[in-house]
Chains A and B, each alone.
Chain A
Amino acid sequence: MRVTAGAIGSVIEVRTPRTGRVHSVFTHAVNLELGDELWTVLARDGHDAALTVRLSGVVVPGDLGLRIHDPVCVRSRHVRVGAAVIDARTAVRWMPQMYDVDLYGLGGRAAELEVAARHVAWAGSWPLADAVIGALASGDRSDLDDAVRRTTGRGPGLTPAGDDVLVGVLAVLTAPGVAADCEPVAARLRAALAPALPTTTEISRALLSQASHGHVSRPVWELARTVLSGSAAAASAQAPADVLSAGATSGGDTCAGLVAACRLLSRSLEGIKA
């Protein structure tokens, strides 16, 4: 079967030859292992991210007849997966839109998001988010190591809820406009996260690795943009809904992390003991 890619992620490279294998197969997504990267092939209505290939037609990835460990070969902007070929020559590259952060009113905007996410997130996600942010704010390294270790891989879901919380935190700390100021804090979180990564699932590991470098899915990016920028022009009414609809609780768990990190920011960047 030959299908066309409508969009590819912001950092994906489809020109350089490389090989890999199918990692996991779902109806609306297929994960491909390529070296230390995990690419995700999505249906047309899927959400772009740094390492996604979004199909353009009505075919969903589950229709491609793929099985776990089928071979993957990338070359000349084509991705051969099992017996299927994804033609990415005409695919547009999704690039997240940059924005400025406005700390004024951030606490209020975060509170609004919390209300929307309160009953969607796994109940355990809120205290986990608070613990990670509390440890980040205190500047105590052992507290942070402990909070991150207890959060990573914790809770329900294919991507355990705690991992989604950390993605939300990282989405804020690596956001444009604050990334430079927050870099010391983000670096501490990355350092605490590194030894914990092997304890969670491979899919979560890939998401956390990407988030550590500021690469999150389009809905999470847009939601962070809406909350952090506070500008009417950037505000997207759809952004919270797109995130909250992810998985069973994943979207809400991400919001829990995002809200907690926004609160940290709203207490002013100077307040962070970097």
Chain B
Amino acid sequence: MSTSSRYYPNLYKDSVSLMTVSAQIMSVNGIDAASVVMASATNIDNLAEAGLGPFDIRPNDLLVALSGTSEACEEALTKADDLLTRTASTGDTGAVAAQPITSIQMAVSQDPSRNFALVSVPGDYAAAEGMKALRLGMDVMLFSDNVSVADELALKTYARDHDLMVMGPDCGTAIVNGVPLGFANVVRRGPIGVVGASGTGTQEVTVRVHQLGSGISQALGTGGHDLSEAIGGISMLHGLAALDEDPATSVIILVSKPPAAGVATAVLGAAEASAKPVVVIFLGADPSTITRNGVYGAAYLAQAADMAVALARGQDPRSGDVAVSSEMRRRLTDAARSMAPSQQFVRGIFSGGTFCFEAQLLHAANGVTAYSNTPTAGNHVLERITLSQDNTIIDMGDDEFTQGRPHPMIDPSLRDARIRQEVDDPTTAVVLFDVVLGYGSSLEPVAGLLGIIGTSRAAARAAGRTVVFISYVCGTDQDPQARKDIVAALQAAGVLVASSNAEAAAWSATVIAERQKVMS
């Protein structure tokens, strides 16, 4: 065991950056302790007491102190150096900066061919910026949330009247002309167009289409409120019409949670009138109520992608339940039967809201009700979001968890801690979780988690319990994080990795149903 340190004179980094660096170097194998702190006298004394010092530096210096194997310390210091100096140098190049573009008007003045604006400012100002862009004749993606319904309606009405589209507010995912925007994955271009009111839902569908060998022409977001009665699905109807006219699109997928009844009628009517086949996934709605002439209802996200790819290839689309292979069923049943009597419940820990929603639906379809911070019909509200009860399936990307924190897709450390908490709970039978890859997501989404799975699994075993870990990795091998590497790392840690979120949930429900059978 050795100790290493490095200091950076007068280097100021905001607290979130310091915590991020600390988490990243802690994830290096062989590191026992890591501290990234300002070198105040008290911190220096404490580090010295912990055997990581002494140091002779000043309070304004930034200190990285480590203990672990010498190889790990060296690797971690290099990593810290890269993270800390990479961003520091950008602010201190000495170069004379070009006049920055400070308004949408300025951007259009510089190049009048610019016709698309992505607005990501605090919600109070987002509507005004969006309207400025619309008045300049631009389509708008509103990444911002906290925009009032009245403002959303005003923006979308203006856009509709001027043949423009507003994606959002709170639109986190889109792929426009092959360019991923917000949280989006690197997928092949192809004949399938998507209009989605759900970010991770759109990611799941586009990724699945890619994995099946087909590709995406456009993936347009609408924001989560678009299909409410107040907004009337203005953006989804516009997106559907745009894809209908797009010569590069031959099949269209619409993704949403169940819309208001009147809006559903309008959207399905427009889909039926489309010249192209339209696959519709209204999560939670019975597909048979959707299917009609040229419109194909899907029950799950992955199924919507499967059906669209089949249609694009001129094949018959098939719908049905999510199948669990006999081999996997046997494996899951064996695992369930070998559990301790206390182990009864699933703990679903999600970063994608739609994945959480879909997982609840799958469990409910298998007779497993759950508590959640975002419960589906028939499920219950979790009393304290920090504490699971019975079967619990939570969306850690929801506002309650992200207040003052990065979204777990960006910084998964809170999710990781929650998973550790669940494994420590003697009633936990299954830990079910998602890993979302792509632009915007953490570049090392399981770096911290792998260690947690290893240690907590060992602790559970020592207590006579075997917890089943089930995961789904939403992404492609072309994403910055390379899906195959993430999947391989999870599998090496003993995690069962499903090919879709629905399949992962079905696996989990299989275990819980078996546990219920054993306990009865």
Contact = CB atoms under 8 A, between A and B. Distances in A.
Contacts of B42: 149-154, 160, 162, 199-200
A223 B52 CA distance: 38
Interface of A: 1, 24-26, 44-45, 57-59, 62-63, 65, 67-68, 119-120, 149-160, 162, 198-204, 241, 244-251
B403 A158 contact: no
B38 A120 contact: no
Contacts of B102: 57-59, 63
B18 to A, nearest CB: 6
A257 B125 CA distance: 33
Contact of A26 (B14, B41, B92): B14
B356 interface: no
Contacts of A45: 122, 124-125
A132 to B, nearest CB: 13
15 contacts: A149-B42, A154-B43, A157-B18, A158-B18, A160-B38, A160-B40, A160-B42, A199-B41, A201-B38, A201-B40, A201-B60, A202-B59, A247-B15, A249-B15, A249-B19
B462 interface: no
B323 interface: no
A138 to B, nearest CB: 21
Given A24-B12, A248-B15, A160 B94 contact: no
B295 interface: no
Contacts of A24: 12
A199 B96 CA distance: 36
Contacts of B404: 120, 241, 244-246, 251
A202 B121 CA distance: 30
Interface centre among B22, B36, B46 (most CB of A within 10 A): B46
A246 B14 CA distance: 10
A119 B386 contact: yes
Contacts of B85: none
Contacts of A152: 40-42
Nearest to A203: B12
A241 B403 contact: yes
Given A57-B102, A58-B121, A26 B16 contact: no
A67 B92 contact: yes
Interface in B27-71: 35-38, 40-43, 46, 59-60
A201 B99 CA distance: 33
Contacts of A151: 42
A248 B40 contact: no
Given A154-B40, A162-B42, A199 B59 contact: yes
Contacts of B43: 153-155, 160
B331 interface: no
Which residue, B12, B15, B18, B60, has most C-beta atoms of chain A within 10 A? B15
Contacts of B162: none
Contacts of B100: 1, 59, 63, 65
Given A63-B100, A241-B403, A200 B15 contact: no
B150 to A, nearest CB: 20
A152 to B, nearest CB: 6
Nearest to A67: B92
B78 interface: no
B13 interface: yes
B91 A67 contact: yes
B516 interface: no
B492 interface: no
A248 B41 contact: no
Residue in B38, B60, B103 whose Cβ sees the most chain A Cβ within 10 Å: B38
B377 interface: no
- Central interface residue in B12, B13, B96, B124, by most chain A CB within 10 Å: B12
A35 to B, nearest CB: 18
Contacts of A198: 59
B376 to A, nearest CB: 26
Given A201-B59, A201-B60, A244 B18 contact: no
9 smallest beta-carbon distances between A and B, as pairs: A153-B40, A245-B404, A199-B41, A247-B15, A157-B15, A248-B15, A154-B42, A65-B97, A248-B19
Of the listed residues A156, A162, A241, the one surrounded by the most CB atoms of chain B closer than 10 A to its CB is A156
A154 B59 CA distance: 11
Contacts of A162: 42
Contacts of A241: 403-404
A202 B15 contact: no
A162, A201, A204 pick with most chain B CB within 10 angstroms:
A201
Contacts of B22: 156
B15 A245 contact: no
Point out which of A25, A151, A248 has the most chain B C-beta atoms below 10 A from its C-beta: A248
Contact of B16 (A201, A202, A248): A248
Interface in B1-35: 10, 12-16, 18-19, 22, 35
A153 B403 contact: no
Given A248-B16, A249-B15, 14 more contacts: A1-B99, A1-B100, A68-B10, A153-B38, A156-B35, A157-B19, A158-B38, A160-B38, A162-B42, A200-B40, A201-B38, A204-B38, A244-B404, A247-B14
Nearest to A243: B404
A160 B426 CA distance: 37
A222 to B, nearest CB: 15
Given A154-B46, A160-B40, A200 B59 contact: yes
Nearest to A118: B386
A120 B16 CA distance: 12
A68 B38 contact: no
B59 A155 contact: no
A204 B16 CA distance: 16
B137 to A, nearest CB: 20
B126 to A, nearest CB: 11
Given A58-B121, A199-B41, A156 B19 contact: yes
